[in-house]
Amino acid sequence: MAAGVAAWLPFARAAAIGWMPVANLPMPVAPTDKNKCQDELIVLNVSGRRFQTWRNTLDRYPDTLLGSSEKEFFFNEETREYFFDRDPDVFRSILNFYRTGKLHYPRYECITAYDEELAFFGIIPEIISDCCYEEYKDRKRENAERLMDDLEDSKDSKLPNMTFRETMWRAFENPHTSTMALVFYYVTGFFIAISVITNVVETVPCGSTPNQRDIPCGERYTVAFFCMDTACVMIFTVEYLMRLFAAPSRYRFMRSVMSIIDVVAILPYYIGLVMTNNEDVSGAFVTLRVFRVFRIFKFSRHSQGLRILGYTLKSCASELGFLLFSLTMAIIIFATVMFYAEKGSASSKFTSIPASFWYTIVTMTTLGYGDMVPKTIAGKIFGSICSLSGVLVIALPVPVIVSNFSRIYHQNQRADKRKAQKVQKARLARMRISKTGSSNAFLHSKRNGMLNQALELTSSTGEKRHLNKTTSIIESQHHHLLHCLEKTTNHEFVDEQLFEQSYLESGLQTFPSRSPSLSSREGITGTCCSRRAKKSSPPPNATHTHTLTHPHKHNLQELSAIHIQCGEQQTLNTSRSSLNMMQDESASLNCKSSSQVTTAIISIPTPPTNNSPCSPETPTNPPSNSSAGVVKVSAL
Amino acid sequence: MQVMELLAVAVVILLFFMILKQFGLWEPLSLDDSSDGGLELYVVRHQPEGLEELQSQTQFSRKELQSLYRGFKNECPSGLVDEETFKSIYSQFFPQGDASTYAHFLFKAFDTNRSGSIRFEDFVIWLSVLLRGSVTEKLRWAFNLYDINKDGLITREEMMAIMKSIYDLMGRYTSPSLREDVSREHVDRFFQKMDRNGDGVVTMEEFIEACQKDEEIMSSMQLFDNVI
């Protein structure tokens, strides 16, 4: 139940008087407030700073440390206050959560410290209100990344048993790991540079032979260049083969961009070797040499910046594509206009629209070669408009690329948005569960309430009673209110899944008009006479959520609730729910008598907060441990 | 070509005017007088009467009034509860069902002067009647609640609406599952019990008389006496 409305509970109960005249059945007894103490102030001493609040304020969230009896552990007898040895600054936000119902995350606070405090006080971080939730998640993600980076750095220390292949691969990927890797790195870099320079110098005309023509160096010193080329290609080939050998996934390596560049860089040489003798295809061979320039891309392995640039261009490909498209549109428009404008003038260079493309591009990029110039007035006007608009259009891609480049540096954003969406769903799911926890709490404590009444009747046998009302008064009053509503309408609240299940199974069978719930007439006596409730234990997982609402199957047996086999008590989590208490007391009751005592416990589909997984836990154990405390839910 | 030249000149003139408009030197269209007043969301604030007056008007002690007011103010800092807030508060008590209709009827019953919002004094006075008042007063209040149009008579349609709103509080997931005519049966039973002279409407006297005869109802009226 939410925070402040606990104060409105008296009002809601008073409004329930409106149901009384139309009720079908007599109303249940109201829970009495035994210790009717007025609301009092309690003092919370957190590392010396004293906070004071009303006790009721803290009771609003009974599943947290401050709202439950767990705070009694911190009660200091001499000073009559609760002392917590924690951070007082963070405690401010936590206490405000109780007061206002909203949990805020202060920006100046460290994220891990805050998380620890929340965990200590039993508050789940998903409750952080929307105004601060985004900040909280961002900080948390940054922290996680930082931790991962630290982890990766520490991973670089060489693991003792790595195969030779793995060592080689690590050496290739990260040259700083060992000296050999560094040497290899520099050697390949050097040879790439040599190869590129060779290709360039090959085409420079150097010195003339007695023929009039200037021949390029490549043709003059053919042998030398050939030897240089061979050496480089050999080095590249060896490097490629070694990488191929060392790669953990060869197929993936062969598909990667870098390996394709490697292959393209060395392939022309081999093709050239094969084709040297045939003169006809030497023309094609010459063009293949163009691909040798791809060797320069091998530098990207050596340079981080080059890689980032490449990745940037790849990532903003769509924006660039769109801009190219709009640019093409503008070129076509202006070229058409210029063509028709210049059609009239004689000796015009604008012979066709495609011919005007060249003029338009040159003008729009403000190059202005001057080889094509408009001569008519109209042509000049449109030409000037073209160049003015060109400036604007060309200026557009630049911010796109810049912003993308900066986005690459924070490149996890896209992945994290996806992750955040998943977390958002998980967050909403958790909040929904804790909200339905309240309605489930009613169903669950309805049975507990019945148990209390049952035990009151059976207490005449003199058994020990641990009737410890651990549900807060507010909760019990709220449940009483819902119970009154049930009586008024003669219908019962059930769990959603059970409703679906029973709806499916029973079809449209009309139920008997008498209330299947515990009417005071027969239900309680039914629970007391538990001997007939010796149901064989079907697999608990299957039935303990299903046998809840089948009143038509077994008539009076249904009214008996769960029976607990006497046996050792499971180690249940110390939860603050009364479920735990129920188990304790029923176990203690059990072990005295041989007959099976019926208790009522509902299994609730794992809400994380309130009703801790006592019931879902126990059914997993019975197959192994038959004498263990098995909790089975039978119908009601 | 002449046409092209004319076209070029026209384009130039157009561009000229566009630039003029951009600089605000020439406004062909009248500018929209968008005075950005907007709604002034002035919040009504209400302070309740003093403690002594409330103490005299109700049956609550000083401390009880203090704790009630603290809770009230926490939820409604302005001191007034409007219908939307009321509905949302009431809905939180019934997570499985739809509390808006019943909350609407309740609001109408509490808001005696039809002002559209409940002040703390109204709230606490009604609470005093419901929790500390006599049974007759409570029955009167219940009658007032059922009588939607406040004409002094409960008709069948009014009762149907009330009953449906109560069943709405239960929500979908009930056992046995709600059928459509279950509220009608309920209303029939109610009229059978309450309508003395069988004229199809229930007056205040009939209602109080019939309730006083029914022991269950009388005992259930006392149920919430020790709530605060």
Q: Retrieve residue A357's tokens.
A: 């493309």
The percent of residues in chain B predicted with pLDDT above 70, rounded, is 90
CB-CB contact of A445 with A476 (8 Å): yes
Please tell me the predicted confidence (pLDDT) of residue A116. Answer: 92
The percent of residues in chain A predicted with pLDDT above 70, rounded, is 62
pLDDT bracket for residue A565 (50, 70, 90):
very low
Examine the pLDDT at A569 and tell me if it is beyond 50. no
**Mean pLDDT of the region A138-143:** 85
Query: How far does Cα B228 stand from its chain's mean position?
Result: 24
In the block, residue with structure tokens 């069948």: B156
Angle of CA points A214, A216, A220, to nearest 5°: 100
Please tell me the predicted confidence (pLDDT) of residue A577. Answer: 39
Examine the pLDDT at B99 and tell me if it is beyond 60. yes
**b/e burial code for range A464-495 (CB count within 10 A of at least 16 → b):** eeeeeebbbbbbbbbbbbbbbbbbbbbbbbbb
**Close Cβ partners of A621 (under 8 Å, ≥ 6 residues apart):** A570, A628, A630
Q: Chains A, B: CB contacts under 8 A, how many?
A: 183
Q: What is the mean pLDDT of chain A?
A: 71
Q: Retrieve residue A413's tokens.
A: 């954003």
B228/A contact by beta carbon, under 8 A: yes
Residue A558 and residue A303: Cα distance in Å, rounded? Answer: 76
Least confident of A97-111, A251-265, A408-422, B114-128: A408-422
Per residue in A435-478, pLDDT (tens digit) is: 766 666 667 666 665 555 554 444 444 433 333 444 567 777 78
Q: Do B8 and A496 touch (CB under 8 A)?
A: no
Q: Retrieve residue A137's tokens.
A: 């998640």
| 3-state SS string for A279-310 | CCCHHHHHHHHHHHHHHHHHHHHCCHHHHHHH
Q: What are phi and psi of A25, to 5 degrees?
A: -120, 160
Question: If contacts are CB pairs under 8 Å, which of residues 198-217 in chain B contact chain A?
Answer: 207, 211, 216-217
Q: Do A17 and B89 touch (CB under 8 A)?
A: no
Residues from chain A that touch B170, judged by Cβ atoms under 8 A, are 485-486, 489, 491, 493
Q: In terms of Cα–Cα distance, which of B158, B95, B106, B149 is closest to B130?
A: B106
Residue A210 and residue A605: Cα distance in Å, rounded? Answer: 97
| Residues present in chain B in total | 228
Of B127, B189, B211, which is closest to A10 when you measure between CB atoms? B127
Residue A251 and residue A281: Cα distance in Å, rounded? Answer: 33
CB-CB contact of A41 with A454 (8 Å): no
| 3-state SS string for A117-185 | HHHHHCCCHHHECHHHHHHHHHHHHHHHHHHHHHHHHHHCCCCCCCCHHHHHHHHHHCCCCCHHHHHHH
Residue A599 and residue A17: Cα distance in Å, rounded? Answer: 32
Please tell me the predicted confidence (pLDDT) of residue A627. Answer: 39
Residue A4 and residue A99: Cα distance in Å, rounded? Answer: 8
The number of CA neighbours under 13 Å toward the Cβ of A214 is: 7
Q: Retrieve residue A404's tokens.
A: 């993308």
Q: Do B63 and A38 touch (CB under 8 A)?
A: yes
**What is the distance in angstroms between the Cα of B203 and the nearest Cα belonging to chain A?**
14
Residues from chain B that touch A508, judged by Cβ atoms under 8 A, are none
Q: Is B107 exposed, middle or buried (0-12, 13-18, 19+ CB in 10 A)?
A: buried
Q: Which residue has the higher pLDDT, A575 or A65?
A: A65
B81/A contact by beta carbon, under 8 A: no
Element (H, E) at A49: strand A49-54
DSSP assignment of A369-436, as one string? -SSS---SHHHHHHHHHHHHHHHHHHHSHHHHHHHHHHHHHTTHHHHHHHHHHHHHHHHHHHHHHHHH
Q: Do B70 and A378 touch (CB under 8 A)?
A: no
The percent of residues in chain A predicted with pLDDT above 90, rounded, is 16
Element (H, E) at B119: strand B117-119
CB-CB contact of A532 with A556 (8 Å): yes
**What is the distance in angstroms between the Cα of A439 and the nearest Cα belonging to chain B?**
6
**Mean pLDDT of the region A592-616:** 38
Q: Do B141 and A17 touch (CB under 8 A)?
A: yes
Give the Å distances, CA to CA, from A228 to A112, A214, A232, A261, A630.
59, 22, 6, 20, 83
Query: How far does Cα A345 stand from its chain's mean position?
Result: 68
CB-CB contact of B208 with B194 (8 Å): no
Please tell me the predicted confidence (pLDDT) of residue A361. Answer: 93
Element (H, E) at A543: helix A540-543
Q: Do A7 and B96 touch (CB under 8 A)?
A: no
End-to-end CA distance of chain A: 25
Please tell me the predicted confidence (pLDDT) of residue A277. Answer: 64
Q: Do B4 and A13 touch (CB under 8 A)?
A: no
Residues from chain A that touch B219, judged by Cβ atoms under 8 A, are 26-27
**Mean pLDDT of the region A11-33:** 77
Give the Å distances, CA to CA, from A553 to A395, A525, A549, A557.
79, 19, 9, 9
Q: Do B11 and A385 touch (CB under 8 A)?
A: yes
Q: Do A20 and B142 touch (CB under 8 A)?
A: yes
**What is the distance in angstroms between the Cα of B28 and the nearest Cα belonging to chain A?**
25
Examine the pLDDT at A586 and tell me if it is beyond 50. no
Please tell me the predicted confidence (pLDDT) of residue A48. Answer: 92
**Mean pLDDT of the region B66-76:** 82
